[in-house]
């Protein structure tokens, strides 16, 4: 255990170094080198980022584990071992009719409820209609599928739980997109939501065909169903690991992850705040940050660590501006002993 703890600490610190280096490079500030805070900062950023990415990806894919059917309600039917011809097509159609249709209906109901396609009574009506359709589809399936007639309620509960988890996981997928790519907020919501919905659907179709009892730990993957692969739980673990590696080595994604972690702890990443100094700032600082006496206008804390506090101001998007200048003005820093008070705001103030 001590050896494992050391390995986790070293790996987390290395990941934290990459996240923090990418973030400081992205916003244009020096990498913090204060030895009194750097080791713990790297460890915290690394552990939080790796754990956060793993949990989010695992949460997005959790319906795959549910569909692997630990209660053995739908597994036998989805394996289509009762047929001899066209087994791959049978498995795909059974998964599509029993799982995919109600799940996608519920997810589109969620999109209408979130006003992705517009506002008004018609959006609420469409959302309600899709939810009713999804529920009726789930409740009616055992009536027409003999394999579920004797365990009707077990089937209904299983698919309802999977559908609910799918809606929750899809919301996590959108959250991940917003956290990793903040500029998506400027796009119409459907431009970000529908691609995520398509990818979400394909990923689940890839990993949710349940594995056979005769071949524990394995499932048959579509479309050919001739190649064996790891079970859903293993697939989720591998995809979470792949996501962590991607966030570590892909720039500027690693910078966004680093900024998200700092923002979550309230020590950077664009935390909105008003800064009050002990003394009136110089005219040059006042002109750039619009200080009124000793207190600033709403600004963003880019990095708050060690003996320096880096801040910037949100800028309006300008055509032809660089990616960095679209987000913040050139950062400036104050010594921590110059700051009298930090007033944190609930949300980012736009110019």
75 close to 158: Cβ distance less than 8 angstroms: no
| pTM, entire model | 0.69
Separate counts of helices (H) and strands (E) for the chain: 13, 7
List the structure tokens of 266.
Answer: 């309230």
Q: Which pLDDT band, with edges at 50, 70 and 90, does 320 fall under? A: very low
pLDDT of residue 351: 38
**Token pair 């109901």 in the structure block, residue:** 109
Torsional sign, CA 125, 127, 128, 130: positive
Judged by phi (left if over 0) then psi (alpha if -120 to 50, else beta), residue 69 lies in left
Smallest CA-to-CA distance from 145 within 130, 155, 136 is with: 155
- Which region among 177-181, 184-188, 245-249 has the lowest average model confidence (pLDDT)? 184-188
45-85: pLDDT as tens digits? 999 988 888 877 777 777 666 666 666 777 778 777 777 77
75 close to 210: Cβ distance less than 8 angstroms: yes
pLDDT of residue 53: 82
pLDDT of 319 > 60? The answer is no
């Amino acid at each position: 255990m001590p050896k494992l703890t050391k390995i986790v600490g070293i790996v987390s610190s290395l990941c934290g170094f990459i996240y923090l280096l990418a973030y400081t490079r992205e916003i244009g500030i020096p990498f913090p080198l204060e030895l009194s805070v750097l080791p713990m900062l790297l460890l915290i950023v690394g552990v939080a980022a790796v754990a956060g990415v793993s949990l989010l990806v695992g949460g997005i894919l959790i319906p795959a584990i549910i569909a692997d059917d630990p209660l053995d309600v739908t597994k036998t039917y989805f394996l289509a071992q009762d047929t001899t011809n066209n087994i791959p097509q049978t498995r795909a159609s059974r998964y599509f009719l029993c799982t995919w249709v109600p799940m996608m209906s519920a997810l589109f109901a969620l999109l209408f409820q979130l006003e992705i396609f517009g506002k008004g009574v018609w959006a609420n009506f469409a959302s309600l209609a899709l939810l009713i359709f999804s529920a009726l589809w789930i409740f009616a399936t055992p009536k027409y599928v003999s394999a579920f007639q004797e365990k009707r309620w077990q089937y209904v509960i299983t698919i309802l739980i999977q559908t609910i988890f799918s809606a929750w996981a899809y919301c996590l997928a959108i959250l991940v997109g917003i956290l990793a790519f903040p500029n998506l907020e400027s796009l119409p919501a459907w431009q970000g939501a529908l691609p995520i919905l398509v990818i979400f659907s394909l990923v689940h179709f890839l990993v949710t065909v349940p594995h056979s009892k005769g071949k524990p730990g394995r499932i048959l993957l579509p479309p050919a169903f001739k190649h064996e692969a790891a079970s859903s739980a293993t697939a989720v673990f591998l995809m979470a690991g792949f996501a962590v590696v991607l966030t570590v080595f892909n720039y500027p994604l690693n910078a966004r992850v680093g900024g998200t972690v700092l923002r979550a702890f309230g020590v950077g990443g664009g935390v909105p705040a008003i800064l009050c100094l002990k003394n009136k700032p110089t005219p040059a600082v006042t002109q750039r940050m619009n200080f009124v006496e000793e207190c600033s206008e709403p600004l963003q804390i880019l990095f708050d660590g060690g003996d320096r506090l880096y801040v910037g101001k949100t800028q309006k998007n300008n055509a032809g501006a660089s990616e960095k200048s679209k987000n913040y003005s050139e950062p400036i820093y104050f010594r921590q002993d110059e700051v009298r008070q930090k007033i944190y705001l609930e949300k980012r103030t736009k110019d």
